[in-house]
């Protein structure tokens, strides 16, 4: 016999003490009330005549003592939570790994999802386990790996909290070597499982047509025109008729109906000139589809307004060429001596020029001369390439600086601006918000090869996007979403705040449904389109299990209880019996 809540010696010691106390209490003479009678002669005769019944009395006393002892010992031993191998069998350890791939969200023919069946299997294993068996619960998302617990309730509660997620699944590392490893899965996302793993299949062939690609992209011939690219694949065992629906929030929708054979992929494009900027939702309507989560996808349609940019330069071939080639830019070139602010201009680019007071519109300045508002000086220092880059900053995102070569830079005071690129202690590029958004590049494009690098047009595009407050959308998979930039918060497409946290220069939030979110970071609204777009996940019939294990019935299974429960029950019954027999004068 082993005990769960006490050491064995403690239980036996306590049992011994209990026995001693019960016997002592049993034989403890109660101080009876005195009653004076004339004579005890007759009472003694009565007792003498009753001596013949004394063995019955002794038996009754013995029975009473035994019942009292049994009650006390049962309660005492119950406190120790004993385990009797005779009753409960030897203790086992179960490591139950539940596949939380998104494919488990597929519905089966019974109406329940594969996940619900998987959970039923897991619950049944726990409930039918013997008392004293230990459980380790893990999932394939890497989120849940519980310590081994002996308490079935803890294991069941853990299972109840789990749900299919979009995290790339992998089989967890189970370190307990002597555990019975049980893997409950549909066999779609995970194929490699350790040997000696008992797999329980919840796979059942199901119909699914899913969106496997969705993008809003400019039309090559006209960069200000956008089209939606949609890829749909039929993973059902039979041909499916699919209705495609493309629409924006509170805008008219485009419909198209197509027929897809088994395994066929259809690629569709939708011209979006009828839509304003903002959220674009693609939806497919299929009869009998078992996985609905991949039937919807979101994207962001940028604004099609052209940006009027004034370039103030004595002549810069690189800048002029780049800005003239950008279809989204309406360029106005000015000489520094003729510069005058114009209210029609959306943004300025100063090349080796700076005004005495800050312009009223955002400005990008290359190699500024001395100006107090821009914290620039006329001192020049020599540098040797970029040593420190803040690529979390929007204007530096995706800008490669690997081949950058710079000769000289002006010295910038970084007290009032944020350096986003440094050469040792020398700021190369700084960005500031006041009085208007401005980016200052400390070097002359002619003194560096920056204009010849791949990063130059990306940098210019990033800066102009930042000036207009419109940045390219981020596309993320469902689940835990990470957005670059700290001190930000997330709102849904309807403007409702979404719970998020700051982690390592990023803003992180969780979502279980596809949607378009806005990450407000550094005073910039970054659209974040969260979708389930995965050919692997949508292909819910590509299982390495041929058939499903019989699904356990959902009827109530009374959990097996530890012996202490029955011991307490027996003690209560004995107390009742003792009470009954005492009042019936059977026991004393």
Partner 1 sequence: MAPESPLFDGEFLKKLEYLHVISKRAFSGQFKAERRARTRGTGLEFADHRAYSPGDDFRHVDWKAYQRLNKLLLRLFEEEQDLPIFVFLDSSRSMFEGTPPRFHYAQKIAAALCYIGLAHLDRVSLFAYSDHLRKELAPQRGKGQIFKIFKFLSELRPEGKTDTKEALTKFCASRSSHGVAVVISDFMDPQGFTAGLNVLRHSHHEIYVLHVTGQANIPQEIRGELKLVDSETEVTLDLEIKQSLISAYQSELENLCNDIASYCRKYRIGYVHTDTTVPFEEAILQVFRHGGFLR
**Cβ 4 to partner 1 shortest distance, Å:** 42
- Cβ proximity to partner 1: between 573 and 588 the closer is 588
- Cβ proximity to partner 1: between 35 and 55 the closer is 35
In the block, tokens 């040797």 appear at: 384
Residues that bind partner 1 (CB under 8 A): 29-47, 49-50, 585, 588
Q: Is the dihedral of CA 192, 140, 211, 472 positive or negative?
A: negative
How is 438-456 classified by DSSP, letter by letter? Answer: EEEE-B-GGGBSGGGSTHH
Q: For residues 164 and 182, is the Cβ–Cβ distance under 8 A? A: no
**Cβ 41 to partner 1 shortest distance, Å:** 5
Burial class (CB in 10 A: 0-12, 13-18, 19+), 553: exposed
- Pairwise CA distance, residues 99 & 143, whole Å: 12
In the structure encoding, which two tokens stand for residue 141, read together?
């998302």
**Cβ 19 to partner 1 shortest distance, Å:** 25
- Cβ proximity to partner 1: between 61 and 408 the closer is 61
Write the CB contacts of 144 (distance below 8 Å, at least 6 apart in sequence).
Answer: 100, 137, 138, 158, 161, 162
Q: What are phi and psi of 359, to 5 degrees?
A: -70, 160
| CA neighbor of 5 nearest in space, from 423, 564, 570 | 564
- Cβ proximity to partner 1: between 44 and 249 the closer is 44
- Pairwise CA distance, residues 193 & 182, whole Å: 10
- Cβ proximity to partner 1: between 7 and 47 the closer is 47
In the structure encoding, which two tokens stand for residue 295, read together?
């039937």
Angle at CA of residue 544, ends 542 and 547, nearest 5°: 95
- Cβ proximity to partner 1: between 340 and 585 the closer is 585
**Cβ 578 to partner 1 shortest distance, Å:** 17
**Cβ 61 to partner 1 shortest distance, Å:** 12
- Cβ proximity to partner 1: between 30 and 356 the closer is 30
- Which neighbouring-strand residues pair with 441? 366, 429
**Cβ 575 to partner 1 shortest distance, Å:** 21
In the structure encoding, which two tokens stand for residue 167, read together?
């995290």
**Cβ 65 to partner 1 shortest distance, Å:** 16
**Cβ 31 to partner 1 shortest distance, Å:** 8
- Cβ proximity to partner 1: between 28 and 221 the closer is 28
């Amino acid at each position: 016999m082993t005990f769960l809540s006490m050491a064995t010696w403690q239980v036996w010691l306590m049992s011994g003490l209990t026995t001693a106390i019960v016997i002592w209490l049993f034989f403890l003479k109660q101080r009876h009330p005195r009653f004076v009678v004339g004579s005890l002669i007759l009472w003694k005769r009565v007792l003498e005549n009753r001596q013949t019944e004394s063995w019955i009395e002794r038996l009754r006393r013995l029975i009473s003592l035994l019942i009292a002892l049994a009650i006390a010992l049962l309660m005492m031993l119950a406190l120790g939570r004993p385990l009797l191998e005779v009753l409960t069998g030897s203790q086992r350890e179960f490591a139950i790994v539940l596949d939380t791939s998104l494919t488990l969200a597929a519905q089966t023919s019974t109406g329940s999802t594969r996940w619900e069946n998987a959970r039923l299997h897991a619950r049944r294993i726990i409930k039918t386990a013997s008392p004293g068996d230990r459980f380790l619960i893990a999932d394939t998302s890497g989120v849940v790996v519980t310590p081994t617990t002996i308490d079935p309730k803890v294991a069941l509660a853990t299972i109840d909290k789990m749900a299919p997620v979009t995290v790339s699944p992998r089989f967890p590392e189970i370190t307990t070597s002597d555990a019975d490893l049980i893997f409950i899965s549909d066999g779609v996302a995970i194929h490699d499982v350790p040997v000696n793993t008992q797999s329980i299949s919840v796979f059942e062939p199901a119909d699914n047509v899913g969106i496997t690609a969705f993008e809003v992209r400019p039309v090559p011939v006209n960069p200000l025109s956008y089209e939606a690219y949609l890829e749909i694949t039929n993973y059902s065992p039979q041909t499916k008729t699919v209705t495609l629906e493309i629409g924006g929030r509170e805008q008219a929708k485009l419909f198209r109906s197509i027929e897809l054979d088994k395994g066929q992929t259809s690629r569709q494009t939708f011209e979006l000139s009828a839509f304003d900027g903002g959220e674009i939702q693609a939806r497919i309507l299929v009869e009998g589809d078992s996985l609905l989560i991949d039937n919807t996808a979101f994207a962001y349609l940028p604004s099609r307004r052209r940006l009027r940019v004034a370039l103030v330069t004595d002549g810069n071939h690189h800048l002029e060429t780049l800005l003239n080639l950008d279809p989204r830019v309406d360029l106005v070139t000015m000489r520094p001596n003729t510069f005058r602010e114009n209210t029609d201009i959306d943004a300025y680019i100063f090349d080796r020029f700076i005004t005495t007071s800050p312009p009223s519109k955002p400005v990008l300045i290359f190699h500024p001369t001395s100006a107090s508002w821009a914290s620039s000086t006329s001192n020049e220092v020599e540098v040797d390439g970029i040593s420190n880059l803040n690529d979390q900053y929007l204007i530096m995102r995706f800008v490669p600086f690997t081949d950058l070569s710079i000769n000289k830079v002006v010295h910038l005071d970084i007290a009032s601006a944020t350096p986003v690129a440094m050469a040792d202690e020398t700021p190369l590029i700084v960005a500031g918000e006041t009085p208007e958004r401005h980016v200052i590049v400390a070097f002359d494009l002619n003194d560096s090869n920056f204009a010849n690098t791949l990063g130059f047009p990306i940098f210019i595009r990033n800066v102009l996007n930042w000036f207009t407050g419109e940045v390219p959308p981020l596309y993320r998979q469902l689940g835990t979403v990470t957005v670059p930039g700290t001190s930000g918060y997330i709102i849904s497409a309807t403007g409702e705040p979404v719970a998020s946290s700051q982690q390592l220069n990023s803003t992180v939030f969780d979502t279980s449904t596809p949607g378009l979110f806005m990450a407000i970071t550094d005073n910039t609204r970054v659209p974040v389109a969260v979708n389930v777009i995965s050919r692997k996940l949508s292909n819910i019939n590509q299982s390495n299990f041929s058939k499903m294990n019989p699904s356990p019935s959902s009827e109530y299974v009374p959990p097996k209880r530890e012996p202490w429960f029955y011991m307490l029950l027996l003690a209560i019954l004995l107390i009742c019996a003792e009470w009954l027999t005492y009042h019936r004068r059977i026991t004393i």
